[in-house]
Amino acid sequence: QVQLVESGGGLVQPGGSLRLSCTASGFTLDYYVIGWFRQVPGKEREGVSCISATDGNTHYVDLVKGRFTISVDKAKNTAFLQMNSLKPEDTAVYYCAAVASSTYYLGGMDYWGKGTLVTVSS
């Protein structure tokens, strides 16, 4: 069965850190672009970061640049999002998604996880 499963969410204080994981099963991430997205209830889903497992190229939105780091461990078939200096406005459900590198330009993702909740609060 093809799926992505996120983990690592939880409650953290402002300024703290969390490391999210996204493990793929039923397919390999080796030739995929993996993205992290987040969504607050009542708000639009927004892209946070993405990485190409093929060449390692990364992208971050300005709001998280310098604080978040995306990576992929091909041996573990898992992508990560290291989140540092967390702010209350980072609170959201975080989703990982993947799209084949060869068709990335078409837009849209092939697979989505169910999400993991990150709450940044005192």
Determine the residue type at 118.
V
Q: Give per-residue pLDDT as tens, 41-74.
A: 999 999 999 999 999 999 999 999 999 999 999 9
pLDDT at residue number 104: 86
The secondary structure element, H or E, covering residue 27 is: none
Q: How far is Cα 2 from Cα 117, in angstroms, rounded to an integer?
A: 22
Q: Which pLDDT value is given to residue 112?
A: 97
State the Cα–Cα distance between residues 4 and 109, nearest whole angstrom. Answer: 12
Say what percent of the chain tops pLDDT 70. 100
Beta strand segments in the chain, E: 3-7, 10-12, 18-25, 32-39, 46-52, 58-60, 68-73, 78-83, 92-100, 111-112, 116-120
Report the pLDDT value the prediction gives residue 105, as an integer from 0 to 100. 87
Of the candidates 50, 56, 64, the one whose C-alpha atom is nearest the C-alpha of residue 104 is 50
- Rounded Cα distance between 51 and 104, Å, is 12
d(CA 33, CA 40): 23
pLDDT at 96: 98
Residue-wise pLDDT tens digits, 65-105: 999 999 999 999 999 999 999 999 999 999 999 999 999 88
User: According to the model, what pLDDT value does residue 45 have?
Assistant: 96
Task: Return contacts of 45-49, CB within 8 angstroms, 24+ apart.
Answer: 45/95, 48/81, 48/94, 49/81
